[in-house]
C-alpha cells in the first residue's frame, strides 16, 4: 500500500465507518441515559428548574473562586487545552473547509500561524495534564487505564496534525493519513469511554442545575 | 431494622440501586473524567489528605452496577467475559460483593455528610450528593449501614424519637418554659395556623429554642400548636438512607397535621429534618402534602417582613454565621437568616466562603449518630475552624442543632473560646416588651 492508498483509505471508507460508529454509538448512549427518566417529584418547588439548569450548563465553565484557589493548575491547564482543542478542531482553515463540504455550513477560520501556536500550547498543556495525573495523589488514585487511553486518543490527533502541518512526517500523504486515522480513532473510541462527557456533561450540568434550581439555589 | 436482620441481602441492595438509577445518575456517571476536583470541595478529603475520601470514589460500587447493566458497552463486556469464562469452565465472578460494600460503608457514611459542596463545584456538573443519598438506599437494603444509625432508626420507628425521647420528657420542659415565660404552650389545638415540630437534640441540648418560639409567636400573634402524637421533626430514614423508614416517619407528621387541620408545618432549627420533610417527604410517601412546610427561619423572616416582629437593641459583639448545608445549599434559604441578623446584630461578618459555598460543619448526614465516625467528624471540623479563625468572630450564630453541637464541641476541642448561639433565641432576646404591641 502506497502512502496515497493509505490516505485514500482513511479519507474514504474508514472515515465513513468512524462517523457511523460515532454517531450511532453516541445516539445509543444518550438514549440509554435519557430513557431512564426521572421519578415524579411531589415536593412543592421553590423555583423553576429549566432556567437554572441552563444557567448551570454555562456556569460550570467558570469555577467558583474557592476551587480556583485550591486547584489553580487544574483550572488553568484544563481550560487551556479544552479551548485549544476546540479552536484547532473548529477554526483551522482545512477543518472549516471539510465541514463546509460535508455539511454545507461554514464559518470564518483563524489564520494558520495562530492555530499553529494554539496547537503547540495545547500539546504542552496536555503533556502537563498527563504529568499532573501521574503525580497528583487524588488523580493518580482515581485514574484507570481508560483515563490514560483517552488521554492518548485526544493527544494523537493534535500531535499528528501538528507534525503534518510542519511537514515533519514524510511523505505528506502519509502524514495526513495518520492525522485522519488518529481523528477516526478518537471518534470510534468516543461513545465507549469517558469521552462521552463531551456531550453528556451538558446533560449532567442541566440536571444538576435543575435539581438545585427547583429548591431555589443556582448551582 | 424493623423487619429483622435476615431480610437484608446483597441482592436486595443491588435491587435498591437498580430502583435508584435514573437519567441524572446515568448522565453523571457518563460524564466523570476523574479530574478529582470534587476532593477539593470535600472537608473529609481536604482535612485528611486521603484520596479514598474523594467524593466520586465513594460511588464506585454503584457505578460498576450502572456500567454493567445500563450501558450497551458494559452489557457487551459482560457477555464476552461470561462466554469466555463459560468456555474455560469458570464461574462468573460477581461484580459487587458483600466484602466490597463493607469496605465502602465508611466511605458512604463516616466520611460524607451529604453536604452537597462537591455537587456545586464538579466541572462536568455531577450532583454527587444526589447519588450518595441514593447509594445509601442500597447500603441499608444490603445490611451495610452503621450500627449507630441503625439504632437511631429503630428508636425513631419504635418511640417516635431517634434518641428515644418521650412526650413526658418534653412535657417537663413545656412546664418549665410556661413557668419561665408566664405563657401557655398550646398542645393539640385544632385549626391553628402552624403545627410546630421539634428535634430531640434540641429538646435535650437547647431547651432555649422552645422558650424562644413561645415568646416570638406570642409577640407576633401567631396561632400555633404542638402535637402530642408527633413532636419529632427529624427523620432517621433520611439519614441512614431508607425511603421505607423515612416514609413511616413522615406519615406521622402528615397524620398529626391532618388531625389538627393545620395548613402549615414548621420544621425546627435542624438541617436534615427540614430537607427530609420539605423535599424528600412527599416523594417518600408518594403524594403531595395538603399543607406547606417551612423552616422556622423562613417563618421568622416572613414575620419580620410583615412587620410583626418588633425588636429593640442590638448585639454589640462581632458575630459570624454558619449556614447549615441542608438549609442553605440544599434548600435555598440564604437571604432570610441574613435579614434576621441585620435586625439584631450590629457587627455581623460572613465567613469567606458562605451561603451556597459554605463548608459543612462535618457532623450532618448521620455522621454525628455514628460513633465510628467520631475521629473523622473532628477532622472535617478543622475546615470550619479555619474559616472561623479567618474572620475572628466573638460568637458564632447558626440554626441547626447538629451544626451547633458540632461547632460547640469542635471549638472547645481546639480551646477556642467562641460561644455558639441559635438565631431564633437571639431574635427572642430582642423582642420589644408586650404592652407596646397589642395582641390581635
- Asked whether residue B259 is assigned to any structural domain, the reply reads yes
In chain A, which residues have their Cβ closer than 8 Å to the Cβ of B45? 138
* B290 and A CB contact within 8 Å: no
What's the rounded Cα separation, in Å, for the pair B361 and B394?
A: 18
Judgement on whether residues B272 and B393 belong to the same structural domain of the protein: no
Q: Do A200 and B31 touch (CB under 8 A)?
A: yes
Q: How many helices (H) and strands (E) does chain B have?
A: 22, 8
* B73 and A CB contact within 8 Å: yes
Write the CATH number for B124. Answer: 1.10.1060
* B390 and A CB contact within 8 Å: no
Write the CATH number for B421. Answer: 3.40.50
Q: Do B27 and A35 touch (CB under 8 A)?
A: no
B145, B178, B210: which is the final residue of a domain? B145
* B282 and A CB contact within 8 Å: yes
Judgement on whether residues B415 and B294 belong to the same structural domain of the protein: no
In chain A, which residues have their Cβ closer than 8 Å to the Cβ of B39? 138
Question: Would you kindly state where each structural domain of chain A is located, as residue ranges?
Answer: 43-214
Q: Do B22 and A32 touch (CB under 8 A)?
A: no
Separation in Å, CA of A133 to nearest CA in chain B: 8
B271, B304, B337: which is the final residue of a domain? B304
Q: Does domain A43-214 have CATH number 2.60.120?
A: no
Judgement on whether residues B320 and B417 belong to the same structural domain of the protein: yes
Write the CATH number for B235. Answer: 1.20.1050
> Which of A129, A207, A209, A210 best probes binding to B when mutated, by most B CB atoms within 10 angstroms?
A207
Residue A180's Cβ-count burial label (10 Å; 0-12, 13-18, 19+) is buried
Separation in Å, CA of B91 to nearest CA in chain A: 25
- Asked whether residue B167 is assigned to any structural domain, the reply reads yes
What's the rounded Cα separation, in Å, for the pair A208 and A60?
A: 10
Contact indicator for B294, B265 with CB cutoff of 8 Å: yes
- Asked whether residue B343 is assigned to any structural domain, the reply reads yes
- Asked whether residue B290 is assigned to any structural domain, the reply reads yes
Separation in Å, CA of B435 to nearest CA in chain A: 37
Distances from the Cα of A57 to the Cαs of A29, A46, A62, A197, B38, in angstroms?
19, 20, 10, 13, 17
DSSP assignment string, B100-145: HHHHHHIIIIIT-----HHHHH-TT---HHHHHHHHHHHHHHTT-S
Judgement on whether residues B289 and B313 belong to the same structural domain of the protein: no
pLDDT recorded at residue B1: 45
User: B65, B60, B40: which is closest to B51 by C-alpha?
Assistant: B40
Separation in Å, CA of B327 to nearest CA in chain A: 10
Judgement on whether residues B293 and B175 belong to the same structural domain of the protein: yes
pLDDT recorded at residue B437: 47
* A47 and B CB contact within 8 Å: yes
- Asked whether residue B152 is assigned to any structural domain, the reply reads no
What's the rounded Cα separation, in Å, for the pair B24 and A43?
A: 18
Distances from the Cα of B302 to the Cαs of A112, B280, B326, B335, in angstroms?
61, 23, 19, 11
Partner-chain residue, chosen from B36, B283, B288, that has the shortest CB–CB distance to A138: B36
- Asked whether residue B188 is assigned to any structural domain, the reply reads yes
Task: List, as ranges, residues 186-205 from A with C-beta within 8 Å of B.
Answer: 191-192, 194, 196-197, 200-205
* A44 and B CB contact within 8 Å: yes
- Asked whether residue B342 is assigned to any structural domain, the reply reads yes
User: B330, B325, B202: which is closest to B268 by C-alpha?
Assistant: B202
Judgement on whether residues B34 and B126 belong to the same structural domain of the protein: yes
pLDDT recorded at residue B396: 98
Judgement on whether residues B314 and B370 belong to the same structural domain of the protein: yes
In chain A, which residues have their Cβ closer than 8 Å to the Cβ of B280? 43
Q: Do B125 and A29 touch (CB under 8 A)?
A: no
B119, B145, B171: which is the final residue of a domain? B145
pLDDT recorded at residue A106: 94
Number of domains in chain B: 3
Q: Flag whether the ipTM exceeds 0.95.
A: yes
Mean pLDDT, consecutive 10-residue stretches, chain A (219 aa), reads: 95 96 97 97 95 97 94 97 98 96 94 98 98 98 98 98 96 97 98 97 98 96
Judgement on whether residues B218 and B134 belong to the same structural domain of the protein: no
Q: Do B27 and A207 touch (CB under 8 A)?
A: yes
pLDDT recorded at residue B92: 84
Q: Do A38 and B288 touch (CB under 8 A)?
A: no
Judgement on whether residues B227 and B348 belong to the same structural domain of the protein: no
Q: Is A195 helix (H, G, I), strand (E, B) or coil?
A: helix
Judgement on whether residues B354 and B409 belong to the same structural domain of the protein: yes
* A136 and B CB contact within 8 Å: yes
Separation in Å, CA of B264 to nearest CA in chain A: 13
* B338 and A CB contact within 8 Å: no
Judgement on whether residues B93 and B194 belong to the same structural domain of the protein: no
Q: Do A196 and B40 touch (CB under 8 A)?
A: no
List the beta bridge partners of residue B224.
B194
Q: Which residues contact B137 (CB under 8 A, 6 or more apart)?
A: B16, B17, B19, B20, B241, B242, B243
CB pairs under 8 A between A and B: 181
Q: Do B23 and A70 touch (CB under 8 A)?
A: no
Q: Which residues of chain B have pLDDT under 50?
A: 1-3, 5, 436-440
Domain that holds residue B121: 5-145
Q: Do B287 and A66 touch (CB under 8 A)?
A: no
Q: Do A42 and B56 touch (CB under 8 A)?
A: no
pLDDT recorded at residue A161: 98
Judgement on whether residues B166 and B194 belong to the same structural domain of the protein: yes
Amino acid at each position: 500500500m502506497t502512502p496515497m492508498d493509505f490516505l485514500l483509505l482513511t479519507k474514504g471508507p474508514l472515515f465513513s465507518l468512524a462517523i457511523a460508529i460515532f454517531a450511532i454509538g453516541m445516539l445509543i448512549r444518550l438514549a440509554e441515559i435519557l430513557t431512564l427518566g426521572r421519578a415524579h417529584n411531589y415536593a412543592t418547588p421553590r423555583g423553576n428548574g429549566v432556567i437554572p439548569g441552563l444557567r448551570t450548563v454555562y456556569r460550570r465553565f467558570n469555577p467558583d473562586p474557592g476551587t480556583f484557589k485550591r486547584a489553580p493548575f487544574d483550572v488553568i491547564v484544563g481550560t487551556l487545552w479544552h479551548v485549544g482543542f476546540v479552536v484547532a478542531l473548529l477554526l483551522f482553515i482545512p477543518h472549516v473547509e471539510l465541514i463546509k463540504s460535508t455539511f454545507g455550513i461554514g464559518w470564518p477560520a483563524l489564520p494558520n500561524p495562530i492555530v499553529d501556536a494554539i496547537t503547540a500550547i495545547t500539546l504542552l498543556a496536555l503533556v502537563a495534564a498527563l504529568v499532573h495525573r501521574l503525580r497528583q495523589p487524588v488523580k493518580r488514585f482515581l485514574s484507570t487505564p481508560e483515563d490514560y487511553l483517552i488521554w492518548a486518543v485526544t493527544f494523537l490527533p493534535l500531535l499528528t496534525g501538528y507534525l503534518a502541518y510542519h511537514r515533519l512526517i514524510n511523505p505528506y500523504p502519509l502524514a495526513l493519513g495518520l492525522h485522519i486515522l488518529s481523528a477516526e480513532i478518537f471518534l470510534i473510541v468516543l461513545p465507549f469511554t469517558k469521552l462521552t462527557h463531551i456531550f453528556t456533561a451538558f446533560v449532567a450540568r442541566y440536571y444538576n442545575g435543575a435539581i438545585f434550581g427547583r429548591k431555589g439555589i443556582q448551582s | 431494622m424493623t423487619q429483622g436482620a435476615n431480610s437484608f441481602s446483597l441482592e436486595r441492595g443491588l435491587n435498591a440501586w437498580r430502583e435508584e438509577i435514573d437519567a441524572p445518575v446515568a448522565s453523571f456517571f457518563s460524564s466523570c473524567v476523574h479530574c478529582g476536583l470534587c476532593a477539593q470541595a470535600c472537608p473529609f478529603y481536604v482535612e485528611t489528605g486521603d484520596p479514598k475520601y474523594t467524593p466520586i470514589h465513594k460511588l464506585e460500587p454503584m457505578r460498576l452496577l450502572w456500567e454493567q447493566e445500563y450501558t450497551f458497552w458494559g452489557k457487551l463486556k459482560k457477555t464476552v467475559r461470561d462466554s469466555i469464562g463459560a468456555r474455560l469452565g469458570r464461574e462468573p465472578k460477581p461484580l459487587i460483593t458483600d466484602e466490597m460494600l463493607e469496605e465502602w460503608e465508611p466511605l458512604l457514611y463516616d466520611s460524607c455528610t451529604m453536604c452537597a459542596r462537591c455537587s456545586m463545584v464538579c466541572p462536568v456538573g455531577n450532583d454527587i450528593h444526589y447519588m450518595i443519598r441514593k447509594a445509601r438506599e442500597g447500603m441499608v437494603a444490603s445490611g451495610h449501614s452503621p450500627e449507630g444509625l441503625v439504632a437511631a432508626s429503630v428508636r425513631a420507628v419504635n418511640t417516635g424519637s431517634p434518641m428515644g425521647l418521650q412526650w413526658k420528657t418534653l412535657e417537663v420542659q413545656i412546664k418549665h418554659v410556661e413557668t419561665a415565660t408566664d405563657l401557655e404552650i398550646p398542645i393539640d389545638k385544632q385549626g391553628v395556623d402552624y403545627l410546630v415540630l421539634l428535634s430531640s437534640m434540641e429538646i435535650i441540648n437547647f431547651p432555649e429554642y422552645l422558650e424562644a418560639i413561645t415568646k416570638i409567636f406570642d409577640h407576633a400573634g401567631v396561632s400555633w400548636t404542638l402535637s402530642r402524637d408527633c413532636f419529632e421533626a427529624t427523620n432517621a430514614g433520611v439519614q441512614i438512607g431508607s425511603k421505607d423508614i423515612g416514609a413511616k416517619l413522615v406519615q406521622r407528621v402528615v397524620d398529626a397535621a391532618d388531625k389538627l387541620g393545620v395548613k402549615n408545618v414548621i420544621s425546627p432549627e435542624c438541617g436534615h429534618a427540614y430537607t427530609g420533610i420539605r423535599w424528600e417527604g412527599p416523594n417518600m410517601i408518594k403524594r403531595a402534602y395538603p399543607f406547606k412546610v417551612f423552616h422556622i427561619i423562613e417563618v421568622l423572616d416572613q414575620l419580620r417582613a410583615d412587620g410583626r416582629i418588633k425588636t429593640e437593641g442590638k448585639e454589640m459583639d462581632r458575630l459570624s454565621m454558619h449556614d447549615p448545608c441542608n438549609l442553605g445549599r440544599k434548600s435555598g434559604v440564604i437571604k432570610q437568616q441574613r435579614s434576621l441578623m441585620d435586625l439584631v446584630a450590629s457587627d455581623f461578618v460572613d465567613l469567606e466562603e458562605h451561603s451556597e459555598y459554605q463548608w459543612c460543619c462535618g457532623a450532618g448526614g448521620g455522621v454525628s449518630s455514628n460513633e465510628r465516625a467520631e475521629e473523622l467528624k473532628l477532622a472535617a471540623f478543622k475546615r470550619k475552624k479555619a474559616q472561623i479563625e479567618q474572620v475572628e468572630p466573638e460568637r458564632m450564630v447558626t440554626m441547626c442543632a447538629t451544626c451547633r453541637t458540632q461547632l460547640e464541641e469542635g471549638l472547645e476541642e481546639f480551646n477556642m473560646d467562641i460561644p455558639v448561639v441559635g438565631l431564633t433565641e437571639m431574635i427572642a432576646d430582642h423582642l420589644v416588651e408586650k404592652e407596646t404591641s397589642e395582641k390581635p
